[in-house]
Amino acid sequence: MKHLELHRSHFDNYKLGGSCCRTIYEMGCVCIFVQESLNYIRLDLEKYCQDKDFEVCAIKIHLDTKIVCIIAIYRAPSGNFDLFLSKLDAVLRNLCTATLKYILCGDINIDYLIDSVRKSQLDALLTTYNLTSTVNFPTRIQKNSATAIDNIFIDTSKLGNYIISPLINGLSDHDAQIITLHSYTSRPPSKNYRLIRDINDHMINDFLNQLSCETWDNVFSTDDVNIMFNSFLDTYLKMLYSSFPLKRVYLNKKK
């Protein structure tokens, strides 16, 4: 996914906080969307990014008097694992401070349901930053396998108690993970508006016209059903959001 395509993506009540788009290869992107009422700072980690080997982005979120750094990473199965460890160490060494709290998450393609040399090497590195794995359930389930290759790492001594659970959303061959940190809550200010998608005949005709002109070349360029579905959904949603943009409607407090 290119930068322009990513910035055209929309999620109600969320905005793009940070991202890392591939420069050479296709079908890859790491990004963080932030609830629009939260204050955050985007961190520039572009110099560490390398397609497939180490893709990363990060933000700092301000929660009252606390600041939490969220780092999202991706490592392709064919990526250089030694380079991944080296760059991850460099990022953590650059960002870590005694007062800042960290959440490291992403698809690292290392199965945490079984013991392996790579799992041990990654744990050894993360232990130096007091980061611990939280995912203990499968995140990618197929006919003949169930693996936990997506993970969330936190410092439990600073972030306290937590609850983590899977979320099957149907958007990918990977399940999502939801982590709730009991010691970190933020009540967003009440809003006097809501976002809706206005629909009229003109917009519907525009949407139908875009669908009729789409060749779907990206969908049929592979035999992998998961990649085909993700390509179809990505193209479909881009046209949907383009034809039916978000509209801000202010609420009547008396009602």
Tell which wins on pLDDT, 98 or 83: 83
With helix as H, strand as E and coil as C, how does the chain read? CCHHHHHCCCECCEEEEEEEECCCCCCCEEEEEEECCCEEEEECCHHHCECCCEEEEEEEEEECCEEEEEEEEECCCCCCHHHHHHHHHHHHHHHCCCCCEEEEEEECCCCCCCCCHHHHHHHHHHHCCCCEECCCCCCEECCCCEECCEEEEECHHHHCCEEEEEECCCCCCCCEEEEEECCCCCCCCCCCEEEEECCCHHHHHHHHHHHHHCCCCCHHHCCCHHHHHHHHHHHHHHHHHHHCCEEEEECCCCC
Domain membership of residue 210 (yes or no) is: yes
CB 195 within 8 A of CB 228: no
Q: Is the pLDDT of residue 254 over 60?
A: no
Q: What is the pLDDT of residue 141?
A: 85
Domain of 197 in residue numbering reads as 193-250
Q: What is the pLDDT of residues 25-41, one digit of tens each?
A: 776 678 899 988 888 99
Mean pLDDT of the chain: 84
Regarding whether 200 and 168 lie in a shared domain, the answer is no
Q: What is the pLDDT of residues 99-130, one digit of tens each?
A: 788 899 999 999 999 999 999 999 999 998 88
Regarding whether 126 and 41 lie in a shared domain, the answer is yes
Q: What is the pLDDT of residues 136-186, one digit of tens each?
A: 999 988 888 889 999 999 987 777 788 999 888 777 778 889 998 876 555
Alpha-carbon torsion 154, 155, 156, 162, what sign?
Answer: negative
Structural domain count of the chain: 2
Q: Is the pLDDT of residue 223 over 60?
A: yes
Domain membership of residue 188 (yes or no) is: no
Residue range 4-21: mean pLDDT, rounded:
75
Q: What is the pLDDT of residues 67-80, one digit of tens each?
A: 899 999 999 998 99
Q: What is the largest distance, in Å, between two alpha-carbon atoms of the chain?
A: 63
Tell which wins on pLDDT, 167 or 230: 167
Q: Is the pLDDT of residue 248 over 80?
A: no
Q: Is the pLDDT of residue 1 over 60?
A: no
Regarding whether 143 and 92 lie in a shared domain, the answer is yes
For residue 119, the domain's CATH number is: 3.60.10.10
